Amino acid sequence: MKNFLSVGLAVLLASSCASVPTMNRDSSNCDPNIVDVKTLVEKAIPFTCVENAEVVKIPTYQELADLPPAETMPIVAVYSYIDKTGQRKRMDGVASFSTAVTQGAESFLIDALKTAGNGKWFRVVERTNLDALVRERQIIRSAREDFANQEGNEDSPTGIQPLLFAGILLDGGIIGYDTNIESGGRGARTLGVGTSRSYRRDVVTVSLRGISTLTGEILLNVQTTKTILSVGGGYDVFKFVDMDTQLVEIEDGVAENEGVTKATRSAIELAVLELIYQGHDRGFWEIEEKTNEE
């Protein structure tokens, strides 16, 4: 019995090191140029920086950035790009008021537009916070006019350039979030020792369309989907020892869930990429082919 318990505990400890992350106060986990972590730790401020922040560059991001620059950069506007799914986070036995997908998808769309061709594909004008922009321009105009009047030159121009108007209005949104479209797993058990592995797939769908501001005609329209994968696995030991009077039970497992926000971002970036290709096919703009010298 002692040998069995020793082996079981050793396996449990070894597997826990691999599957369960640990919280630590090691200052090497953070950039010392940003914050003096060592000083904060000495002052007993726990877990100031547990894991490093990172810039996420997913494959669709790199594909957008690798596009050659446009000959003439179209001026586009994004007013909103909202969640139209109405989905809430899944919580068994609880009414959740948290949404299943991000409510700030327009930020991902604007970022994708500015990423295309390393910022040399679209000229994006500010429309999501237009009221603040107009008010700030009014403040600048008023301040410069007052300064000009004080100098005795009432005809002095304010120097504020007119706002750009967009030729194409980009609209759409997150139109679908389907959960548990595919699930399954497998497992095995013998003599009280078992292992199992399971998975589940969800799908997020986004739509993006380009509208002519001169005629109101919908020029371009694309839809993209991205799967969201969740995988879990583990093992357990359930065995009676010492003349079947002592019970030993060991469990260990880990689950990995693909981020919904990252999946939504990837679907939006792919929609922008497909919109550029569709515009090329329909003759609205032209994608130059990169030469070997580039």
Q: Could you give the angle at which helices 105-115 and 260-281 cross, rounded to 10 degrees?
A: 50
Which residue has better confidence, 230 or 152? 230
Helix (H, G, I), strand (E, B) or coil at 173: strand
Q: Is residue 35 over pLDDT 60?
A: no
CA–CA separation, 272 and 70 (whole Å) = 14
**Which range among 21-25, 158-162, 189-193, 206-210 has the greatest average pLDDT?**
206-210
> Are 99 and 174 found together in one domain?
yes
Residue 294 lies in a domain: no
pLDDT of amino acid 101: 87
State the pLDDT at residue 123: 93
Model confidence, pTM: 0.75
Let me know whether 259 and 219 are in one domain.
yes
Same domain, 285 and 145: no
Query: Are 148 and 47 members of one domain?
Result: no
Asked if residue 259 belongs to a domain, the reply is yes
The predicted pLDDT at position 24 comes to 58
214 shares a domain with 278:
yes
| CA 237 – CA 12 distance, rounded (Å) | 10
Class of residue 155 by CB neighbours under 10 A (exposed 0-12, middle 13-18, buried 19+): exposed
Residue type (1 letter), 61: Y
Please answer whether residues 206 and 267 qualify as being in contact, where contact means their C-beta atoms are separated by less than 8 angstroms: yes
Range of the domain at 134: 129-163
Is pLDDT of 294 > 50?
Answer: no
CATH assignment of the domain containing 190: 3.40.50.10610
For residue 45, pLDDT beyond 70: no
Task: Give the pLDDT score at 244.
Answer: 75
**Separation CA 276–CA 219 (nearest Å):** 12
**Helical segments of 43-129, H only:** 59-65, 105-115
Q: How many domains does the chain have?
A: 3
Q: What is the pLDDT of residue 6?
A: 54
User: In whole angstroms, how far apart are CA 237 and each of 4, 10, 11, 12, 233?
Assistant: 11, 13, 11, 10, 14
Residues 50/35, Cβ–Cβ less than 8 Å: no
Upper half-sphere CA count for residue 210 (Cβ side, 13 Å): 22
How many angstroms separate the CA atoms of 172 and 193, rounded?
52
If asked whether residues 21 and 133 sit together in one domain, one would say: no
